[in-house]
């Protein structure tokens, strides 16, 4: 049977564990949200890039009617522009992902820092509970010996 103090300590430990779980859920939620934002931004960049390329191709077609050499030069320019835009979009996503990972690591570190004290408290509580049980058991043994001794006198 546990004492009110032990029950309070057990309840505090349960609450701390619940807080740890909630913090982990929040980190996962933030990570999912950031990835969704990055994906949406990338898709928008690709869509805009495709529109720009389509417009450039249309301009190139119109110019090809007057000068075939211009078409080849424009196509090369369009490909170069597409490669540059794709490279810039990939670099922007990489930067955003790196920033998100740094933020997740910061949050994770903060959660770990906050929960470290709770974990240490849980170990202390467990140790104190074990000691209290051991002492209670020892007291019961002494009481039984006293009862036996008293019964032996009768």
Q: How many domains does the chain have?
A: 1
Place of tokens 């929040």: 26
Express each pLDDT in 2-52 by its tens digit: 788 888 898 989 998 989 989 888 888 888 888 888 888 888 888 888 898
Q: Which domain holds residue 108?
A: 4-153
Q: What is the mean pLDDT of residues 65-87?
A: 80
Residue 65 exposed, middle or buried by CB count within 10 Å (0-12, 13-18, 19+): exposed
Q: Place 86 in a pLDDT band, splitting at 50, 70 and 90.
A: confident
Q: What is the pLDDT of residues 91-104, one digit of tens each?
A: 887 888 888 878 87
Whether 1 has a pLDDT exceeding 60, the answer reads no
Report the 10 Å Cβ neighbour count for 2: 13
d(CA 75, CA 85): 15
Q: Quick one: tokens of 3?
A: 């004492």
pLDDT in tens, 103-137: 878 878 877 777 776 667 667 777 777 777 777 77
């Amino acid at each position: 049977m546990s004492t009110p103090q032990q029950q309070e300590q057990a309840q505090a430990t349960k609450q701390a564990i619940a807080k740890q779980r909630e913090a982990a859920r929040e980190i996962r939620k933030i990570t999912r949200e950031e990835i969704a934002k990055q994906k949406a931004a990338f898709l928008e960049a690709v869509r805009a890039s495709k529109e720009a390329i389509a417009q450039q191709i249309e301009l190139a077609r119109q110019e090809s009617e007057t000068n075939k050499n211009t078409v080849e030069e424009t196509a090369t320019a369009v490909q170069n522009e597409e490669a540059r835009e794709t490279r810039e979009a990939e670099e922007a996503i990489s930067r955003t992902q790196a920033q998100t990972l740094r933020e997740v690591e910061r949050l994770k570190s903060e959660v770990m820092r906050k929960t470290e004290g709770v974990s240490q408290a849980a170990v202390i509580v467990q140790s104190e509970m074990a000691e209290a049980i051991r002492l209670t058991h020892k007291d019961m043994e002494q009481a039984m010996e006293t009862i036996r001794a008293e019964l032996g006198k009768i």
